[in-house]
Structure 1
Amino acid sequence: MSWFRCPETRPWASMRLFCLPHAGGSAVFYRPWAKEISPAVEVHAVQYPGRADRMADAFVTDAHQLARLVAGAMAPLLDRPAALFGHSMGAVLAYEVARLLQERGSAPVHVFASGARAPHDRGDERVAERDDDGVVEEMLKLGGTDAEVLQDPELRELVLPYVRNDFALIEGYAHRPGARLSVPVTAIIGDADPHVTEEQAARWGELTDGRFALKALPGDHFYLVERQREVIAEVLRTLEVPAAY
């Protein structure tokens, strides 16, 4: 099963944007981006195993292994410049994927880290160890579209295992020393996100020798749902891609 969902193939696009979802998220989260973004960009959203149309695939329980698998799957798609956008858990994975790609001589042109503390500054929360109600409570607190699904008992039974896996994966992640990124990084957060402050987001700048920028938009952890247009505009401006032909 393919690792990427591309809502609209664009053979003429000058660039690919690879989008990595949050814990409990799936590729469908980024589907609306294809309509909003410039025709010059082809969107590929990562579909993690164990959910949606990959429900039958075994979970990956280690963040470093997941990054290796995503980076490997990207190889045939790197015939054009590529940028990475990750939200929350996806931001940390995007960083690890970028490290691997850089090591292999095919570094992305930019990494966008959304709604996340820097990989070397993780919190000590352990949501994965809570009971089902505790995990659901955390999802509801975070907000986002996945939270609504957890209100339905049947869907909850399907969704909770991969949500718990994702929390365990990111809470078990440890930053490993190694080559610094030379890739430019932009951190974007919601100004009312209870999980990451501007000071914490600024620490992403410590991980790259490339250019670093920090942008705060109005909103909470899922600020990018309501502010989708602004986030995409920021991505296009940063990548110097015209919004439309």
Structure 2
Amino acid sequence: MAVPAGPRHARPACGPADRAAVQRSPVSTGCLHRFGPERRGARLLCVPHAGASADAYAPWVRDLGGALELWAVTPAGRRDRADEPLNRDPQRLVTEVVSALTALDERPLFVFGHSMGALIGFEVAAELAGSPHQPRAVIVSGSPAPHIRSRHRENDYTDDDLAESLVDWGGTAQELVGDLELRELLFPPLRADLQLCDRYHRTAPWASPVPLAALAGRDDQVAPPSDVTPWEDYTTDFLGLRTFTGGHFFPATSRREVIDHVVSLAMQVLTRH
């Protein structure tokens, strides 16, 4: 099942004030970071893939063009939370995000999560269901449905395991994963996040009242479209599965197309309520 991309939505041009705001450091509250200027209207909260921080979504602010106010999550142990111990407990991260979100003013909210971020984003939306902060929709990207993902066993993830995985997933050159300084920087948070994913378990679908859309890369070997499709059983209001050109990191390689689709979904949902 596919959701049509729909027409591109007009976005306000970035003037000098907007460009300056994009270049400034984002506003932070708890584990959340805002990129770009504060805007009226709906928010988009993005949850990163394993090993990443809010900065993974910094490039999105220009392509969003002000259609949605952009916020993103930084888990413990990286960026401005580098002094905090790494977290391997999925519920702890969900609780942190929920706490930070509910401290913000009430506005229409959309949640986007890729890979690990899809699991956390879904659980955040589930916890907020029925509250004034309930998201208008959650968009899960590049992740097998939870009951499929939960078949994975826990792993220690040696450095060689991580290096091999990064190359297999795409987006990381072989010579980079052999750099010892880069390994020291990237591997600890990546290992912790993968172990967090291993500790996440849902053995059967649960239909959340929050509308849900799913995204998949056509050549993704980590989360092939056939494994992403069963997300339709995790909501009472499935907004469809859309596939994109690319492998596991298709939100980066097909960024503009993904962002256009996210904005299109948000506009569809906002105009039907």
TM-score with structure 2 setting the length? 0.81
The CA distance in 2 between the partners of 1:74 and 1:134, in whole Å, is 35
Aligned to 2:134: 107
1:10 equivalent to 2:10? Answer: no
Cα drift, residue 30 of structure 1? 0.3
Q: Which runs of 5+ in 2 are unaligned?
A: 1-28, 269-273
The CA distance in 1 between the partners of 2:263 and 2:147, in whole Å, is 28
Aligned to 1:131: 158
Cα drift, residue 153 of structure 1? 1.3
| Equivalent residue pairs, number | 240
Q: Which runs of 5+ in 1 are unaligned?
A: none
Mean Cα deviation higher: 30-39 or 179-188: 179-188
1:23 equivalent to 2:73? Answer: no
Cα contact 1:127–1:135 (8 A) shared by 2: no
Aligned to 1:85: 112
Once the two structures are superposed, residues 180-236 of structure 1 have per-residue CA deviations (whole angstroms, 9 ceiling, x without a partner) of 311111110110000122221111010100133000111100011111000011011
Could you say which structure has the larger radius of gyration?
A: 2
**Residue 55 of structure 1 is aligned with which of 68, 76, 82?**
82
Aligned to 2:14: none
The CA distance in 1 between the partners of 2:205 and 2:141, in whole Å, is 22
The residue matched to 2:117 in structure 1 has which SS? helix
CA RMSD, Structure 1 to Structure 2 (Å): 2.2
Question: Residue 107 of structure 2 aligns to which amino acid in structure 1?
Answer: R
Aligned to 2:26: none
**Residue 188 of structure 2 is aligned with which of 161, 176, 184?**
161
Aligned to 2:240: 213
The residue matched to 1:160 in structure 2 has which SS? helix
Aligned to 1:172: 199
Aligned to 2:125: 98
The CA distance in 2 between the partners of 1:42 and 1:146, in whole Å, is 33
Cα drift, residue 134 of structure 1? 1.4
TM-score with structure 1 setting the length? 0.90
Cα drift, residue 76 of structure 1? 2.1
Q: Percent identity?
A: 34
The residue matched to 2:241 in structure 1 has which SS? strand
Aligned to 2:212: 185
Cα drift, residue 90 of structure 1? 0.3
